[in-house]
Amino acid sequence: MLNFVQTLVAGLLIGGVYALVSIGLSLILGVMRIINFAQGEFMMLAMYFTYFVTAALGVSVFADFVGPLVAAMLAGPVMYIVGILVYRVLLRHVSGTSSGGQDAQLLITLGISLILQNAALMAFGPTAFTLHTSLSADIWKIGPIIVNRALAIAFGVSIVLTAGFYVFMSRFRAGKILRACADNPQAAVYMGLDPHKAHARAFGIGVGLTAIAGGLVATYYPFTPYIGLNFIVIMFVAVVLGGLGSTTGAFFGGLIVGVVQQLWTLVMPMELQDAGVFLLFLLILFFRPQGLFGKKYV
């Protein structure tokens, strides 16, 4: 029983990070109708950003988790600007349903992904970078349950940010504009909204959220220019599981992926850990093709 609870906790903590990573991708998909294959690489850039900012801040000045946490949070706005620039230069002409440019979208985002991977390889080399903090090695004990500090902090930040994002999308005008442009871009234009501006903002926020998640992951996971490949499949599974374009769905999709991935190991060989996730994925697609929180279109 203790092993079950411990594994469940580990799954929830990992799932919280997956959730934040996936919300960014889901927002981009929902508002812009762009399948962003470069999302993992934006996450990777944020990890390097977190590394260098943490080094610049000096972890010894603060409590050892403050430096990495501040750096990870800073990665959000910085990558928001990067996202907007990438949108304006490369994606502007292929976003939205009316562009009919899905082939172009795939090629451009895949191209961005390859360029970012190799640019990072040129700049940082193939050796894994590790944040110099004891966060990942330290634990908190809650009764008999052991909680990894890095994962617990990442989980906490993910929950707060997700809640903040939910409030932004439902209560603030800027969030409502994004939803309007996602739901009916043509009607949004009639109402005097600028879908391109909304798309740029959505891409920036989507990249920024994933970037913060990347910064948090960097506190416990060594990374190389290819780290994005480890997460992109998980992101897509979480997004489709939750319902294409539904950010709430992506959140729960991420949590479910984390929990299933870990609990599966209690009953099946660890080698089949991801098989459990994909089995659930197929079952949900079979019984509920629109995903858990997706809308059913007739």
Partner 1 sequence: MRTGYKAALAAIGLAVTFSFGAMAGETVRIAQVIPLTGPWADLGQMAREGAKIAAEEINAAGGIKSLGGKKIEVVVADAGGSPESAKNATQRLISDYPDLSAGMGAILSSMTLAATTATEQAGLPWVTQSYATSITERGLKHVFQIVPDSKTIAGETFPILTKIAKAATGKTPSKLAIIRDNTAASQDFFKPMLDGGFEKLGITVSVDAAYTPPLSDATPIALKVRSSDADLVFLFITALPDVKRVLEALNQYDIKLPITAQAATLGMPGVAGAIKTDALEGLISTAGIWPGAKQKAVVEKFKQATGENWMPEPALAGYSGTWILKEAIEAAGSADRSVITKALHEMDLKDGPAAAALPTGAVHFDETGKIASPTITAFEWLNGKPYTIYPPQAAEADPKWPTR
Q: Residues 58, 77, 125, 164: which binds partner 1 (CB under 8 A)?
A: 125
Rounded-to-integer distance, Cα 248 and Cα 91, Å? 25
Residues 229-258 that bind partner 1 (CB under 8 A): 230, 258
Residues 12-41 that bind partner 1 (CB under 8 A): 14
Whichever of 3 and 60 has its CB closer to partner 1, that residue is 3
Whichever of 47 and 169 has its CB closer to partner 1, that residue is 47
Q: Compute the Cα dihedral for 91, 95, 98, 104 and give only its sign.
A: positive
Residues 152-191 that bind partner 1 (CB under 8 A): none
By the rule CB under 8 A, 290 interacts with partner 1: no
251-266 burial string, b = 16+ CB within 10 Å, else e?
A: bbbbbbbbbbbbbbbe
By the rule CB under 8 A, 261 interacts with partner 1: yes
By the rule CB under 8 A, 221 interacts with partner 1: yes
Query: Residue 171 corresponds to which tokens in the numbers above?
Result: 């209560």
By the rule CB under 8 A, 54 interacts with partner 1: no
By the rule CB under 8 A, 65 interacts with partner 1: no
Q: How far is CA 227 from the centre of its chain?
A: 13
What is the per-residue DSSP string for 200-247? HHHHHHHHHHHHHHHHHHTTTS-B-TTTHHHHHHHHHHHHHHH-TT-H
Least distance from partner 1 to the Cβ atom of residue 76, Å: 23
Q: Residues 160, 266, 283, 285: which binds partner 1 (CB under 8 A)?
A: 266
If we measure between CA atoms, which residue out of 95, 108, 82 comes closest to residue 205? 82
Rounded-to-integer distance, Cα 258 and Cα 255, Å? 5
Query: Residue 154 corresponds to which tokens in the numbers above?
Result: 């990442």
If we measure between CA atoms, which residue out of 71, 57, 64 comes closest to residue 137? 64
Least distance from partner 1 to the Cβ atom of residue 62, Å: 19
Contact pattern from residue 92 through residue 121 relative to partner 1, giving x for each residue in contact according to CB under 8 A and a dash for the rest: -----------------------x--xx-x
Amino acid, single-letter form, for residue 220: Y
Whichever of 32 and 47 has its CB closer to partner 1, that residue is 47
Query: Residue 182 corresponds to which tokens in the numbers above?
Result: 């996602």
261 close to 19: Cβ distance less than 8 angstroms: no
Q: Specify the DSSP class assigned to residue 294.
A: P
Q: What is the dihedral of CA 54, 59, 62, 63, to 10 degrees?
A: 110
Whichever of 132 and 196 has its CB closer to partner 1, that residue is 132
Least distance from partner 1 to the Cβ atom of residue 275, Å: 9
Beta strands (DSSP E) in the chain are 139-142, 145-148
Whichever of 10 and 239 has its CB closer to partner 1, that residue is 10
Q: Residues 136, 175, 248, 280: which binds partner 1 (CB under 8 A)?
A: 136
Whichever of 218 and 239 has its CB closer to partner 1, that residue is 218
Least distance from partner 1 to the Cβ atom of residue 249, Å: 21
By the rule CB under 8 A, 43 interacts with partner 1: no
Note the residues at the interface with partner 1 (CB under 8 A). 3, 6-7, 10-11, 14, 115, 118-119, 121-122, 124-128, 130, 132, 134, 136-137, 139, 146, 148, 151, 220-224, 226, 230, 258, 261-262, 265-266, 269-274
